[in-house]
């Protein structure tokens, strides 16, 4: 354990932590002193690399295969984390998918998949984590700046799912307030990840700062929300998007 770091002694789980913003969050939480479990579905090698990186930084970690659309897998992941580390202080809910399609072409399968993972899965992950979370703990969800605007054609369903998360967080904040647990929602704009690689260049002209975000920048905000410093903030959605949604 790294004494003197703001998250020293804390235990975190990052749902969807094998790559992109999730992996950056795992690394940042560990750098700030937390031991971290992550879940993954389809990238075991990336998950192993992320765990190796935080262990090299002096923290303990574990990778757990768990589909965020499967309630039993989500509960098992939380249970494994608590069994390994003895408690849970921080939960980051990053699992999500992006499938684009306009009103004429989006399929029922894509609609159901995005709702199941981006809304139902987020709720179930929060529910499972909250049941085992220490009083005074932290929950951080990863939404999107498209929750307040559709940045381009074909993003209406994705925007809808992320708007649902923003509203969900407000209600859950009230539910958990008596335990001193805070929950906040980070709404990144276009960020350089595997999920955005196919269309990131087309979006850059829409960003006032003229560039996409770096996952480490998003992770910095996540770490703040996971820390003691953010204790008076709950139910909020914080947009970090280079000015795109102004």
Shortest CA distance to 143 belongs to which of 118, 162, 170?
Answer: 162
Spatial distance between the Cα atoms of 187 and 144, rounded to a whole number of angstroms: 4
| Range 53-90 burial, b when 16+ CB lie within 10 A, else e | bbeeeebbbbbbebbbbebebbbbbbebbbeebeebbb
Residue 239, strand partner residues: 187
- Classify strands 90-93 and 138-142 as parallel, antiparallel or unpaired: parallel
Shortest CA distance to 81 belongs to which of 66, 100, 71, 97?
Answer: 66
Q: Which residues contact 43 (CB under 8 A, 6 or more apart)?
A: 18, 19
Active site residue 158: yes
Q: Give the helix/strand (H/E) hosting 29.
A: helix 20-31
Spatial distance between the Cα atoms of 43 and 222, rounded to a whole number of angstroms: 22
| Beta carbons of 183 and 233 less than 8 angstroms apart | no
Q: Which of 40, 158, 224, 232 is catalytic?
A: 158
- Classify strands 237-240 and 61-65 as parallel, antiparallel or unpaired: unpaired
Active site residues: 158
């Amino acid at each position: 354990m790294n004494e003197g770091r703001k998250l020293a002694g804390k235990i975190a789980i990052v749902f969807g932590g094998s790559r992109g913003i999730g992996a950056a969050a795992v690394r940042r939480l560990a750098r700030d002193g937390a031991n971290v479990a992550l879940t993954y579905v389809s990238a075991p090698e990336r998950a192993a690399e992320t765990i190796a990186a935080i262990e090299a930084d002096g923290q303990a970690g574990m990778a757990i295969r768990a589909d965020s659309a499967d309630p039993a897998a989500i509960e098992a992941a939380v249970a494994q984390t608590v069994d390994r580390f003895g408690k849970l202080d921080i939960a980051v809910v990053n699992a999500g998918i992006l499938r684009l399609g306009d009103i004429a072409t989006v399929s029922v399968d894509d609609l159901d998949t995005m709702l199941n993972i981006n809304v139902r899965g987020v709720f179930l992950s929060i529910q499972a984590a909250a049941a085992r979370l220490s009083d005074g703990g932290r929950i951080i969800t990863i939404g999107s700046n498209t929750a307040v605007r559709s940045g381009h054609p074909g993003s209406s369903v994705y925007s809808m799912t992320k708007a649902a998360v923003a509203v969900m967080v407000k209600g859950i904040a009230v539910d958990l307030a008596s335990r001193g647990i805070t929950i906040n929602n980070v709404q990144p704009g276009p960020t350089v990840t595997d999920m955005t690689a196919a269309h990131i260049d087309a979006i850059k002209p829409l960003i006032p700062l003229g560039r996409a975000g770096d996952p480490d920048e998003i992770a910095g905000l996540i770490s703040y929300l996971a820390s003691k410093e953010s204790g008076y903030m709950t139910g909020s959605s914080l947009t970090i998007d280079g000015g795109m949604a102004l």
